[in-house]
Amino acid sequence: MTAPDDPGLWFHRAPGPPRTPRLRLVCFPHAGGTARLFDGWRHRLPTTVEVVAVRYPGRQERLDEPCVESMTELADRITGALAGYDDVPLALFGHSMGASVAYEVARRLEAGAGPAPVHLMVSARAAPGHGGRTTLHRAADEVLLAAVRRLGTLGGVDPFAEPELRELLLPVLRSDYRLVETYAPAAGAAPLRAPITAYLGDRDPGCPGGRVRAWEGFTTGDFALRAFSGDHFYLAPREAELTSDIAERLAPAPVATARGTTAT
């Protein structure tokens, strides 16, 4: 049986030839989402960037495991699995719920639980303490689904329209909402040292720009905010633009040469 903190259990790599990366981008899916959301990124980002996506328990390859409903437990376990990934620098990208998880993992890594990330990228998520409180995880099925549908659909597909898929996916969605809605950010937590880039869709009904901009107060490093055309799931139709922006932000800084010119 695979140990709970085994990277092979927690992290998914899109199919393809092995790479020798200079940087590893760890991607965190949204509530109800899966690691395969990021499969296309491998072909869009430079070959020097390895994309690994987090496999949350309770879905796909981990369907026989219970979902994790505590942010503390989930962040602790993912951090433990990342501890051995110290061969190259890490950057973190999280979408929606995944942004909160990525932030909590970044906090733990910077506190000494593993290699500190060089960049945190958060998408379609208000900064901790700025999103308001909801209790949708306790609502009736149709109320919860109506709230999710109001945000938009991933690739124009509503997976809950099919009764068999709905039966499989709804408990996972509810568990993830319970995790998000019971998450209480640590009071007085020190800002991260890593720079933060925040992304959002300009028509996202659940994530106003001001609440996303509040991430600026969670780092002592650089901060940037970038909006794309789209709703809460803008990252699917805008994948090429988003990954291009990420690649630029993760590119190595120019190195000064002896003659005063620069090289990359």
Q: Is 232 a catalytic residue?
A: yes
What does R_g of the chain's alpha carbons equal in angstroms? 18
Cα–Cα separations (whole angstroms), residue 114 to 22, 89, 92, 95, 187: 17, 11, 13, 22, 22
Active-site residue identified among 96, 100, 123, 175: 96
SS (H, E, C) 18-35: CCCCCEEEEEECCCCCCH
Contact between 228 and 146 (Cβ < 8 Å)? no
Gap between the Cα atoms of 130 and 264, Å rounded: 39
Burial status of residue 117 (CB atoms within 10 A of its CB: 0-12, 13-18, 19 or more): buried
Distance between CA atoms of residues 27 and 94, nearest Å: 6
Residue 96 annotated to the active site: yes
Could you tell me if 77 and 10 are in contact, meaning their C-beta atoms sit under 8 angstroms apart? yes
User: Of 55, 51, 25, 56, nearest to 40 (Cα)?
Assistant: 51
Active-site residue list: 96, 232
